[in-house]
Amino acid sequence: MVFNRFSGWVVALPVALALGLSGCGSGESEPAASAGGGNAAKTVTVFAAASLTGTFTVLGKTFEAAHPGTTVKFNFGSSATLAQQIVQGAPADVFAAASPATMKTVTDASLASAPTTFVRNKLQIAVPADNPAKVDELKDLADPKVKVALCAEQVPCGAAAVKALGAAGLKVTPVTLEQDVKATLTKVELGEVDAALVYRTDVIASAGKVQGVEFPEADQAINDYPIAALAKAPAGEPARQFVDLVLSQQGKDVLTKAGFEAP
């Protein structure tokens, strides 16, 4: 009997140990899987107005440093074009537009809600560094001898230009209409035109390649910039965290240093 009880105990012990080890293994695997999921690499895709290229690139690097394993990918361009891309199903997490009208395209499609205005921007006349056409005020752009570049009217910088010129009672015939403000500014930088109406921030970002000429009518054509995390953002919470960074004091400091105005 003793032998049988001992034998039974010897057999039972490995079974009990096996079950115990199996239980421990199962208990440890779940947290490991959870940790792996929590640290999974994320990509936050931000669609942003071309005039935000410099500042958002800086903020993207700041965000990545604060969220290891997360990458911020940007699509900069005309706000009108970006809005249409989002409505047509382009995968995006955040939209930062250069006008409420272009953001409305997205909110009307129920793809974003409650956008927040985070900065404002004002037009300047950009001229080459040596200002060969001697452009000193807005009315100089109406001179047919002055080659002028404007943004297309459906683009926020183009809509602002229309307002400013209308406020001054001027008719200007541009030699080119560009699809975003960066392309418009490039025409001045390359010396292909004598002047262009662009944002003050773009003149500052040119780092001396162009001069900026202020004009009073710009105050009647200021653009508000709204931002929103998209309703179906693939990145989820990181998308909202990027918006929070833009709205934070740190974000405001980067933006105002570049020439944007507080809303």
Torsions phi, psi for 95 (to 5 deg): -125, 125
pLDDT digits (tens, 9 = 90+) for 224-235: 999 999 999 999
Cα 140 to Cα 133, 135, 161, 183, 187: the distances in Å are 9, 6, 14, 22, 18
Q: Where are the beta strands (DSSP E) in 78-203?
A: 94-96, 116-121, 123-128, 148-151, 176-178, 195-199
Domains and CATH numbers, the chain: 42-120+224-257 (3.40.190.10), 123-220 (3.40.190.10)
Render pLDDT for 139-162 as a digit per residue (tens, 0 to 9). 999 999 999 999 999 999 999 999
Determine contact, residues 49/117, Cβ cutoff 8 Å.
no
pLDDT in tens, 168-224: 999 999 999 999 999 999 999 999 999 999 999 999 999 999 999 999 999 999 999
Overall average pLDDT of the 234-249 stretch: 96
pTM: 0.81
| Residues 88-122: tens digit of each pLDDT | 999 999 999 999 999 999 999 999 999 999 999 99
The terminus-to-terminus CA distance of the chain in angstroms comes to: 90
pLDDT, the chain, mean: 87
